[in-house]
Structure 1
Amino acid sequence: MKSTRQVVGIFLSTCLLPFIFLQSVQAQGSCRNPNQNQGQCLSIYDCQSLLSLVQQTFVTSEDRNFLRNSQCTNGVGRQPHVCCTNDRSYGPQDTTSTAPPVTPANPGQQGQEGQQGQGNLLPSPPKCGPHSFSNKVYNGNDTAIDEFTWMALLEYVDRRGRRELSCGGSLINSRYVLTAAHCVIGDVEKAVGRLTTVRLGEYDTSKDIDCVDGICNLPVIEMGIEQATVHPQYDPNDRNRVHDIALLRLDRPVTLNEYIQPVCLPLVSTRMAINIGELLVVSGWGRTTTARKSTIKQRLDLPVNDHDSCARKFAMRNIQLISSQLCVGGEFYRDSCDGDSGGPLMRRAYDQAWYQEGVVSFGNRCGLEGWPGVYTRVSDYIDWILETIRP
């Protein structure tokens, strides 16, 4: 389904209430919050105290009222605007009520938080897998403009110097993108070209700046690749395509913003079982029923298949699947396809954040009924990821 971002209320599905009958207008930039403490009228995206309240798994009715009554006008930045202080609720607070400074996200901090003792290089909720802030739905399969903000596009250059966007990937911290090994080495080098660049913050590849209903994202960021690391057991000549996973180290830390955030990975502390029939989400800019590529980021909900049945199906084509491969889909005309390779297979799981459960690997053509797509199971490669990434 196609959805876009028109942020006119308090955002999570658990607390989507429109801002109505609001606080009186204050002088531009200056305001008083519901506790009558003076603050700055800012975009909620720049006010960490209230943004963190919105992102909680459960928001009480009192919290909703505080958020609603915190709105102000004549603010700075993207709407909606709130009177920003350190207050997160009614009444006296533990911290001072002066407005917190607005500073850009520090990529070295936001991308370094994860399990203790594991290098602290993979983020955990709420610093990964954020929800979309929009509640408007259109027709079709287009994502919203701020949905799946970890999605990456890989760019290649052929022998003639022509640039082409082909595979996908996902940002897992401020320095690394997770993708498929076959997007890095093997046939892709001959068929498409040499992998050179990672594009982040993309939505509509046909436009320089993407706007939907007056909401515009920030300019796309293009990052060079300092190092590409393919799983050591991946063999590009093996038709089974086992261990089809790779890491791309960006040439510099990416500055995170509301349109560029990392996805969560299923660490031991947050991992949940994947059940047969459960719907997972795949996203990318790959082939559709009407075009070789989509210019707009797409999403598709697909059911998990029984692994043994899927393995028997692919054995008919002399392809031997292993347990670290996940079968999803198999419905007519509903599948990941050319150009989606390397992209994430996702679900909302622990703490209601988005987790990447799979990497798009291969299938028997696209959208053939009874033939699921095959994905690399990310949870089986967490140890390798943690051993490979570095600050």
Structure 2
Amino acid sequence: MKVLLFIFFITIHSVLSQNFCRTLGFKIGRCISIYDCDYLLNILMTKPLTQQAIRFLQLSQCDAGTVDNHIPHVCCARNDDSLILQPGTDSGTISALSTTTTYAPELNEENLDDSIVSQNTNDTGLLPNRSECGTELIENRIYSGQNTDREEFPWLALLEYRKFSGEVTINCAGSLISKKYILTACHCIKGDIITRIGELVNVRLGDYDLRQSNVCVGRRCGNPHQFNEIDEIIPHEKFNHRSISRRHDIGLIRLKKAVTYNRLLRPICLPTRDEPPLKTGDIVYIAGFGRTLYSRTSQIKQKLALPIFDFAECKRKFSTKNVRIFKDQICAGGEFSRDACDG
């Protein structure tokens, strides 16, 4: 079963050794728990978090964040504790902030779905407010390690098809980009998948473990996944499902009812024109329920980091298979059993 997996990227800063790192202020620091780094913890505890603050925290994370029960680790320097992003600015300026020691909040029994909801109830805009999208920074997490947690990739959508036998199966995926729209691949909504699999009938949101309708990770629990009926399918007008190059392989699904955002269900941010272009070697992430090396599909949400591949070399390699690659396409990966199908 092929599952479409969407990617997003963050810049990875250099780690000098297992414990030493370089901060965003170009100072030597140590990779420690965010709860031991006062100035970054203060940013994390400031509500609401701005997009600049979220980005600053993401870029401050270091590679040790997969230990200590997934407590995020950040690059922290003793003499760098006055550096934070100036709130409310787009320029990424730095200003002073006095700090006090704050301890990690205790984890209490709670239902995640009622704890964080959208602050913007206005449905008139097609795209979400920038403070609502792309956010998976929740309490003691900045950005995950290698293991996918329940709260990660809250925009992941699964597409259900009704086979000619009447059975309903999951055969593609997409990303929630607003309260009523799913971004997906055009081959998931047009062409062979319809004639070979069946009609696209539902969109599922909020899944983590396909074997369970209600999932708890540690002491945190989430509501069952949501089923969403489809109002309209919008394929890219230039997509040709018979073309092996798969150019213009993008489309939209409009939902009948607006989605209610919560802690486990939020949209991803679409890139803007002022976003820096991806470069060779940049790290991107794919996420979904794709195939693994040893089983047909994964039942638990998976993720994988992949490097952006040199476009000229990618184009050359595909040309040997008589496949043409275009400038509006991205090449990533290149390692055996590490891609969007073999997750």
TM-score range, shorter chain: 0.5 to 0.7
Distance (Å, rounded) in 2 between the aligned partners of 1:63 and 1:219: 42
Match of 2:306 among 280, 295, 302: 302
* RMSD of aligned alpha carbons: 3.5
Indicate whether 1:50 and 2:47 are aligned.
yes
- Larger relative contact order, structure 1 or 2 (CA cutoff 8 Å, min sep 6): 2
Which residue type is aligned with residue 200 of structure 2?
A: L
Residue in 1 that maps onto 2:22: none
SS of residue paired to 1:143: coil
Indicate whether 1:250 and 2:263 are aligned.
no
Are the equivalent residues in 1 in contact too, given 2:234–2:252 (CA < 8 A)? yes
Are the equivalent residues in 2 in contact too, given 1:305–1:327 (CA < 8 A)? yes
Distance (Å, rounded) in 1 between the aligned partners of 2:271 and 2:51: 23
Residue in 1 that maps onto 2:209: 204
Which residue type is aligned with residue 189 of structure 1?
A: I
SS of residue paired to 2:293: coil
SS of residue paired to 2:53: coil
Residue in 2 that maps onto 1:235: 240
| CA separation of 1:208 and 1:181: change in aligned 2, threshold 3 A | same
Structure 1 stretch displaced more, 209-218 or 280-289: 209-218
Distance (Å, rounded) in 2 between the aligned partners of 1:229 and 1:64: 50
Match of 1:16 among 34, 37, 52: 34
| CA separation of 1:198 and 1:125: change in aligned 2, threshold 3 A | same
| CA separation of 1:322 and 1:17: change in aligned 2, threshold 3 A | same
| CA separation of 1:143 and 1:249: change in aligned 2, threshold 3 A | same
How far 1:175 moved relative to its partner? 0.7
Which residue type is aligned with residue 329 of structure 1?
A: G
Distance (Å, rounded) in 2 between the aligned partners of 1:150 and 1:138: 15
1:104-253 equivalences in 2 (<5 Å): 105=118, 108-109=121-122, 120-133=125-138, 134-135=140-141, 142-253=147-258
Are the equivalent residues in 1 in contact too, given 2:164–2:197 (CA < 8 A)? no
Residue in 2 that maps onto 1:319: 323
| CA separation of 1:155 and 1:313: change in aligned 2, threshold 3 A | same
How far 1:138 moved relative to its partner? 9.9
Are the equivalent residues in 2 in contact too, given 1:107–1:255 (CA < 8 A)? no
Are the equivalent residues in 1 in contact too, given 2:51–2:131 (CA < 8 A)? no
Which residue type is aligned with residue 324 of structure 2?
A: Q
Distance (Å, rounded) in 2 between the aligned partners of 1:64 and 1:143: 32
Residue in 1 that maps onto 2:332: 328
Are the equivalent residues in 1 in contact too, given 2:240–2:246 (CA < 8 A)? yes
Q: What is the identity percentage for the equivalent residue pairs of Structure 1 and Structure 2? A: 33
| CA separation of 1:63 and 1:127: change in aligned 2, threshold 3 A | farther
Are the equivalent residues in 2 in contact too, given 1:209–1:218 (CA < 8 A)? yes
Distance (Å, rounded) in 2 between the aligned partners of 1:105 and 1:184: 29
Distance (Å, rounded) in 1 between the aligned partners of 2:106 and 2:208: 30
Distance (Å, rounded) in 1 between the aligned partners of 2:227 and 2:267: 16
- Normalization by structure 1: what TM-score? 0.60
Are the equivalent residues in 2 in contact too, given 1:108–1:174 (CA < 8 A)? no
Distance (Å, rounded) in 1 between the aligned partners of 2:292 and 2:241: 26
Match of 1:265 among 253, 260, 270: 270
Structure 1 stretches lacking a partner, 5+ long: 1-12, 19-47, 80-101, 113-119, 338-365, 368-391
How far 1:233 moved relative to its partner? 0.3
Which residue type is aligned with residue 331 of structure 1?
A: E
Distance (Å, rounded) in 2 between the aligned partners of 1:170 and 1:122: 13
| CA separation of 1:284 and 1:313: change in aligned 2, threshold 3 A | same
Distance (Å, rounded) in 2 between the aligned partners of 1:15 and 1:124: 30
SS of residue paired to 2:47: helix
Which residue type is aligned with residue 316 of structure 2?
A: R
How far 1:106 moved relative to its partner? 6.3
Are the equivalent residues in 2 in contact too, given 1:198–1:225 (CA < 8 A)? yes
Distance (Å, rounded) in 2 between the aligned partners of 1:257 and 1:250: 17
- Normalization by structure 2: what TM-score? 0.68
Residue in 2 that maps onto 1:8: none
